[in-house]
Amino acid sequence: MEHKNLSLTLKVWRQKNSKAQGGFETYKIDGISTEMSFLEMFDVLNEKLINEGKEPVAFDHDCREGICGMCSMYINGRPHGPWHGTTTCQLHMRAFNNGDTIVVEPWRAKAFPVIRDLVVDRSAFDRIIEAGGYVSVNTGTPQDANAIPIPKQKADAAFDSAACIGCGACVAACKNSSAMLFVSAKVAQLANLPQGQPERATRALNMLDQMDKEGFGSCTHTGACEAVCPKEISVLNIAKLNNEYLGASLTVARD
């Protein structure tokens, strides 16, 4: 791949805090290597801003290797930018051309309020997981590794669903700000495993109720989520979740 240096115009959402009215700031930036990641480009921008005595742009990141789900930039109308199945931290500047204008916004959803600049509060996801996205186990001696047989197909399906990193891009891309892809990935993962069976019905009910309470929208099956998910979580998980929820609604007495 040929190496180039890019000059870019960035339009970045700046917002002091959750209460403040935000707005776009425009920055010109030169000498961006096509080998850099998108976040490294922001590091360069922030160094420049600090040297000029200005506030750097706040943005979320942690692992920078596509596994933690912290990075969350909405780039040119797409969560995580133009590359398919890629997190913002794994997006590289060779995806752009010299002279491009790049518009960067935070995830936008009622349930994901902006904390500052490009950082949003995704603790709603934590509360959804707390509502049922786990299996309860008694402590004691660990079981033998192969004591519980799991068919290979089920294990594979559970593994695919478990790939969700909780980044929230699905919510960001959805016209309804629905968290169904995220919720369904966890419900489907545990519904496929024997360890998930005892809490299977209440899990689906409680996680979905929590999703509604947090202010996420309902799923109208546009498939926008799957298209932007960095882990390529399938919308079939949502069909499975619906199935689980409907079945549980019929069988579990709720108070």
Partner 1 sequence: MSNGNFFTSSVGRKSIMGATGFFLISFLVVHVAINSLIFINIFNPSDKGHTFNVAANFMATNWVIHIMEVVLVLGLLAHAATGIRITILNKQKRPVKYAIAPTSSTWYSRSMGLLGTLILLFLVVHLRDFWYPTKVAEFVNHDIDQFNTYQVIVAAFQNPIRVVIYLVGVASLFYHLMHGFQAAFRTFGLVNKKYFSTIQCAGKYFAIIVCTLFALMPILTFIGLIK
Q: Which residue of 27, 76, 95, 127 would you call a contact of partner 1, by CB under 8 A?
A: 76
Contacts of 191 (CB under 8 A, 6+ apart): 200, 203, 204, 240, 244
Q: Under rule CB under 6 A, which residues in 201-230 are in contact with ligand SF4? A: 229-230
Yes or no: say if 6 and 98 are a contact pair by the CB < 8 Å rule: yes
Which residues would be at the binding site for ligand FES (CB under 6 A)? 61-64, 66-71, 87-89
Is 20 among the residues that bind partner 1 (CB under 8 A)?
no
Letters for 33-72 (x = contact with partner 1 by CB under 8 A, - = none) are ----------------------------------------
Yes or no: say if 28 and 7 are a contact pair by the CB < 8 Å rule: yes
Which of ligand SF4, ligand FES, partner 1, none interacts with 70 (beta carbon under 5 to 8 A by kind)?
ligand FES
Q: Under rule CB under 6 A, which residues in 125-184 are in contact with ligand SF4? A: 164-170, 181-182
Is 231 among the residues that bind ligand SF4 (CB under 6 A)?
yes
Closer residue to ligand SF4 (CB): 57 or 181: 181
Which of ligand SF4, ligand FES, partner 1, none interacts with 233 (beta carbon under 5 to 8 A by kind)?
ligand SF4
Closer residue to ligand FES (CB): 79 or 132: 79
Please report the beta strands in the chain, taking only residues with DSSP state E, as ranges in sequence order: 5-14, 23-33, 74-75, 78-79, 101-105, 114-116, 119-120
Say how far apart CA 101 and CA 94 lie, in whole Å.
14
Contacts of 37 (CB under 8 A, 6+ apart): 64, 89, 90, 91, 92, 93
Q: Which residue of 5, 110, 126, 155 would you call a contact of partner 1, by CB under 8 A?
A: 110
Closer residue to ligand SF4 (CB): 111 or 165: 165
Q: Which residue of 66, 69, 79, 168 would you call a contact of partner 1, by CB under 8 A?
A: 79
CB crowding 84-97: b at 16 or more within 10 Å, else e: eebbbbbbbbbbbe
Environment class of 27 (CB within 10 Å of its CB; exposed 0-12, middle 13-18, buried 19+): middle
Interface positions with ligand SF4 (CB under 6 A): 164-170, 181-182, 185, 229-231, 233
